[in-house]
Structure 1
């Protein structure tokens, strides 16, 4: 059982292979985003010669998949879960509930009427 226990990091919470991969994807995406935007601009600019546009399209298609924004998934910073994540808090539903009930989230309180 101890082998499945997640390790705690000071930076973002629990770490497992998926969290590390997601962190890597985000770093690579941020590094290559200006280059991807430039290639997309060249590819879509109709005033340029067709050869330049085709070369830009080829370079864009040969870039690593981690440079695309669509491969980045929202993950819970507390548990690394990828489903049911509140974007504003970057937490999964269960983690959000626990932290809200403990009073760890400023401005969040249990509803009562």
Structure 2
């Protein structure tokens, strides 16, 4: 069965991951400067202004684990990127390498 087009939630999660990865170093540097009490207030203020100019998808909290098949945000098995229901379906169909049903 061909894979359907990606869910909009999955596309948003991919965009958030790429945005965070691209701006992580600069964002951490500005955070360090903004929170450093030893620096003058004007320098810390400028660093805070620079932090405010970043896109919303550069925040680490915008990255959410989602199922790559359905876009579901709960019950996601991170190693496979699937929710538990999709994981079960794919495991039973033998589409996941190294995964098999437990025997009694």
Question: For this structure pair, what is the TM-score category when the shorter chain's length is used for normalisation?
Answer: 0.7 to 0.9
1:93 pairs with one of 39, 59, 84: 84
Render the CA deviation track for 1:53-94: whole Å, top value 9, x for unaligned: 121122213322111010111111222222211111110111
Superposition TM-score, scaled by structure 2 size: 0.84
How many aligned positions are there? 102
Structure with larger RCO (C-alpha < 8 A, sep 6+): 2
Superposition TM-score, scaled by structure 1 size: 0.78
SS at match of 1:53: helix
The 1-side partners of 2:67 and 2:77 are apart by 8
Point out where structure 2 has 5 or more consecutive residues left out of the alignment: none
2:41 pairs with one of 44, 50, 58: 50
Give 2:94's aligned residue. 103
* Aligned-CA RMSD value: 1.7
Asked whether 1:39 is paired with 2:50, we answer no
The 2-side partners of 1:78 and 1:15 are apart by 7
More strand by share: 1
